[in-house]
Structure 1
């Protein structure tokens, strides 16, 4: 009969506790493709289902793949949504806060739509944003004095062609990576 040594015991315990780690999927910065598709479809509904994005439809039931990364307006990297390019899509509603539930979003381009209201401070929650184009819409009022609460990664920022009425706030100069305004 063989003797169980402390080394043997350690090896047995290590193998017992290592197996579950191989079974559990690794969680990183990625987001479930199902939840991203749900957010995009919710966004479409929030904007009253514009005909220009009527091809945004749910993946078939029991499908192993989500189709939203194939929609022309969506950019994905490693299977996760990183960009929305909804240029001239006849969007008439405000930008909802849940747009930032797309956790890996780095680019939003909503130029040439009919988006009304004040500057969308809900975008302050899009923490990875690098490019933001809200030009040629119907935004009114002042650009907020705390607009620098947008992502510190912001490199391009376009607000032209709107109806902002106040002076440009000093906060615009506090974006450390901004190259195009």
Structure 2
């Protein structure tokens, strides 16, 4: 079973391919510094064993899918340097194992949800 998938610094483009969201044994997924674009698939929430997720330095856009809150084992989440818009999903409060969180350089709006106070390990 594949546990780690690192595809950093390539020229992958379009959307994050659906097959990745079916790799439910993944613990680490990093696709930073590619040219992925479009919305982040809601199926990303199926990767419930993830502890490390780095989507930084791509061209993802649109709202963050609420089911990111399903990734309760996440310790590191980096979605910086994309084009995400809207508010931070309230389910972020479910990610109580987070040690690092980088949301910088996006177009996120609105006040941080109060649920971010649940992230005591940050």
TM-score normalised to the size of structure 2? 0.73
> Quick check: 1:47 aligned with 2:15?
yes
Distance change (3 Å), C-alpha of 1:48 and 1:169? closer
**Matching residue of 1:83:** 28
**Matching residue of 2:108:** 164
**Matching residue of 2:46:** 101
Equivalent residue pairs, number: 108
Q: Which runs of 4+ in 1 moved over 4 A?
A: none
TM-score normalised to the size of structure 1? 0.51
Write the distance in 1 (CA, Å) between the matches of 2:28 and 2:16: 21
Distance change (3 Å), C-alpha of 1:155 and 1:116? same
Structure scoring higher RCO (CA < 8 A, sep ≥ 6) equals 2
Distance change (3 Å), C-alpha of 1:144 and 1:126? closer
Query: Cα deviations across residues 120-159 of structure 1 (Å, max 9, x unaligned)?
Result: 212111121111101111111222344313x221111110
Write the distance in 2 (CA, Å) between the matches of 1:81 and 1:146: 21
* Structure 2: stretches of 5+ with no match in the other structure: 4-11
**Matching residue of 2:120:** 176
- Matches of residues 15-164 of structure 1 in structure 2 within 5 Å? 33=1, 47=15, 80-149=25-94, 151-164=95-108
Write the distance in 2 (CA, Å) between the matches of 1:152 and 1:48: 25
Conserved 8 A contact 2:48-2:70:
no
Higher Rg of the two aligned structures: 1
Write the distance in 1 (CA, Å) between the matches of 2:51 and 2:76: 6
* Structure 1: stretches of 5+ with no match in the other structure: 1-32, 37-43, 50-55, 57-67, 69-79
Between structures 1 and 2, the one with greater strand share: 2
